[in-house]
A = this chain, B = another copy of it.
Amino acid sequence: MIRVTVWNEFYHEKTEESVRAVYPEGIHTVIAEFLGRQEDITVRTATLDQPECGLPPEVLAQTDVLIWWGHARHWEVPEEVARRVQEAVLCGMGFIALHSAHHSKPFRYLMGTTCNLSWREDGDMERVWVVAPDHPIAQGIDRYFDLPHEETYAEAFDIPEPDKLVFIGWYEGGEVFRSGCCWRRGRGKIFYFQPGHETFPIYRDSRVQRVITNAVRWAEPETRVPEVPCPNVQKPVLKFDEQ
């Protein structure tokens, strides 16, 4: 059983009618629902307005994969919580950053770069291309899939070269973007997935749901450690004589 926690800023849905119309109960609820229908996945949710952002140490300790959606309130996530998430990833927890979470604290701290990009809100069509058809996250996806309307993100995206680039987005207005990127950091696996602007029902799309479900399975930890060790070791014994 893969234990997923879906974290959502849960702000736009309460303050903007155009977003509430799409996600009346919050983006996290929609994501939790489609993941919860999988037999091998169990889901909980957490939001910014909960104590400790809903992410006290005991929750992270019971989370195999953390999904993160945030946009307008990145700076309200306390440093302590952001660092706690980063450390959990380095100790093995999977981390999936969605859309505007490119600027979230945990993602930026894990990448080490600004994660800046160019952006444009014209509701362009996006065509998401598979560039790594062998990758587990791309299974079940055809050569590409279309999203009728999405916010446009454009290169240059200031990220470390991905360990594996899985998707590239094409936009009607002339842009491209590395829309699906994988990294390993410490013991943890990280996936960034660009689709998901709050005013369009992106997370209700079956292909998007398939990608996120694949990513959860891919990001499940191989191993989990309480902390990354940094020991002062003894000189190992070399058994030359006994050989």
Query: A residues within 8 Å of B by Cβ?
Result: 86-87, 90, 92, 109-114, 116-122, 125, 127, 129-136, 139, 143-144, 146, 148-149, 154-158, 160-161, 163-165, 168-176, 178, 183-189, 222-223, 228-236, 238-240, 242-243
Contacts and interface: CB of A to CB of B under 8 A. Distances in A.
Contacts of A170: 170-171, 174-176
B233 A154 contact: yes
Nearest to A133: B156
B134 A243 contact: no
Contacts of A111: 112
Contacts of A110: 112
B116 A175 contact: no
A129 B177 CA distance: 9
Given A86-B112, A238-B125, A186 B229 contact: no
A130 B187 CA distance: 13
Copies of this chain present = 4
Given A112-B110, A158-B186, A120 B165 contact: no
A186 B120 contact: no
Contacts of A161: 163-165, 184
A238 B172 contact: yes
Nearest to A174: B236
Contact of A186 (B113, B118, B164, B233): B113
A112 B90 CA distance: 9
B176 A129 contact: yes
A120 B222 contact: no
Given A112-B86, A233-B154, A239-B125, A131 B178 contact: yes
B92 A134 contact: yes
25 contacts: A86-B112, A87-B114, A121-B232, A131-B157, A131-B176, A134-B184, A134-B186, A134-B189, A134-B222, A139-B222, A143-B156, A144-B174, A144-B236, A146-B239, A148-B239, A148-B243, A158-B186, A160-B183, A160-B184, A160-B185, A168-B178, A172-B240, A173-B235, A173-B236, A174-B235
